[in-house]
Amino acid sequence: MKRILIYAALAATATAASAQQALWGVPTTISPEINSDSTVTFRLVAPKAVKVQVTGDCLPLVKGPSGEYIIPRVADMTETDGIWTYTTPSALAPELYSYSFIVDGLKINDPSNVYRIRDVQTTSDVFIIGGGHADIYKVNDVPHGTVSKVWYDSPSLDMRRRLTVYTPAGYETSGKRYPVLYLLHGMGGDENAWSELGRATQILDNLIAQGKAEPMIVVMPNGNVDLEAAPGEGSNGLTAPTIALPHTMEGTFESSFPEIVNFIDKNYRTKRAKKSRAIAGLSMGGFHSLHISKQYPDMFGHVGLFSAAIKPHGNPNAPVYTDSENKLARQFGKDAPLYWIGIGKDDFLYKDNEEFRSVLDSKGYQYTYVETPGGHIWKNWRIYLSRFLPLLFK
């Protein structure tokens, strides 16, 4: 009798499974569909909609009126039986693409696509067309590093602050020490930006597995010193992220940066020589990399400026920005770093970078310069990271 009871208690649970599936509310429409010819089909079920469009960087791009940066075009979708469809007119080149739908003027995410990335307050749906350089944006069957959200204490900012830290595959048990890249986000970004929008985790896993990049620790801090962490991850709670960034590009982050380096050297098995430390960033993060590496010339043996802002904002007289000529002379003097500058031809910061390069040229300071098509976009920053990593720690 007990045996029967127990058998009853342990027999097929199909009911539970199906009942739970019923709770799911799974969309049945396939969107986006990457076709065998590398065209992509988008679908949206919206029987009552009058006009549905798709917008994103997967569509042919045009210059903005100012010519300063690229604006994604909009394409009309066509409706049959309440299902709106659009297929790209031609095959898409290998790349990570993002898109949204516009339903009667309302911009929405694709309810059939769970792969979304947040850029400041805008969330887009994403997909990858593989092949070529985009293959290193994919999660491939290679050894994977560990990605951690770690909190450090900042005495100068009187705050606990959140970092994203990548440690390479094998770190936990190798007992080895590793070089460190500090990788900084742009204005409005946060400690999640490089790992999510930038595919930094996949790029690192793949380049390290291919032997093209040295195994390294990569530290991605939050560059807005008013915030503990990315939206929703700090003690200010699930409130709308602040748009005003009063304490960036005015010297505070740069002067407090050694706190982060000290924390990492204390908590991780790092190589602590200048030649084993790199700093790079995009836009505001490139600006931070420029001024931090100049302020602490013995700290970083490799510097990367990706579409970098150049000029101080808010407080040009902050100590970190003053006496630049002598600081650059010191930085590019004995034991000068590998200095790498990349920018898009259409970037609104192109001219500032041109001026900065002319300063370096006028002094005969050595740097590597890469110019790409396009503007101030993540596509370029993923490419710059992919080109910069293989140069480090050789």
Instruction: Tell the smallest beta-carbon distance from residue 394 to a second copy (Å).
Output: 27
Sign of CA dihedral 54, 131, 342, 298: positive
Candidates 77, 310, 343, 389: give the one binding a second copy (CB under 8 A): 310
Using the minimum distance from each CB to a second copy, give the nearer residue, 346 or 392. 346
Binds a second copy by CB under 8 A, chosen from 231, 301, 342, 374: 231
Interface with a second copy in residues 11-40 (CB under 8 A): 11-17, 19-21, 23-27, 30
User: Which parts of 123-162 interact with a second copy (CB under 8 A)?
Assistant: 123, 126-128, 130, 138-141, 143-144, 146-151, 160, 162
Q: What six digits make up the tokens of 324?
A: 């630049």
234 touching a second copy, by CB under 8 A: yes
Residue 340 token pair? 């790498």
Size, binding site for a second copy by CB under 8 A? 114
- Specify the stretch interacting with a second copy by CB under 8 A; choose among 215-223, 265-273, 337-345, 381-389: 265-273
Q: Which of residues 334-393 bind a second copy (CB under 8 A)?
A: 348-349, 352, 355-356, 358-359, 362-363, 376
Can you tell me the distance from the alpha carbon of 345 to that of 133, in angstroms, rounded to the nearest whole number? 20
Half-sphere exposure of residue 326: CA atoms within 13 angstroms, side-chain side: 4
Phi-psi label, residue 288: left if phi above 0, alpha if psi -120 to 50, beta otherwise? alpha
Q: Which is nearer to a second copy, 124 or 393 (CB)?
A: 124
Tokens of 280: 């790079």
Binding a second copy by CB under 8 A: which of 38, 39, 87, 109?
109
Binding mask 176-215 for a second copy (x = CB under 8 A): ----------xxx---------------------------
C-beta of residue 372 within 8 angstroms of C-beta of residue 344: yes
Pick one of 311, 319, 335, 366: the residue that binds a second copy (CB under 8 A): 311
Residue 71 burial (CB < 10 Å; 0-12/13-18/19+)? middle
Q: Measured from the CB atom, is 358 or 368 closer to a second copy?
A: 358
Long-range contact pairs involving 328-335 (C-beta distance under 8 Å, separation at least 24): 328/294, 328/359, 328/360, 328/363, 328/365, 329/363, 330/297, 331/293, 331/294, 331/297, 332/360, 332/363, 332/365, 332/366, 335/274, 335/301
77-96 residues in contact with a second copy (CB under 8 A) are none
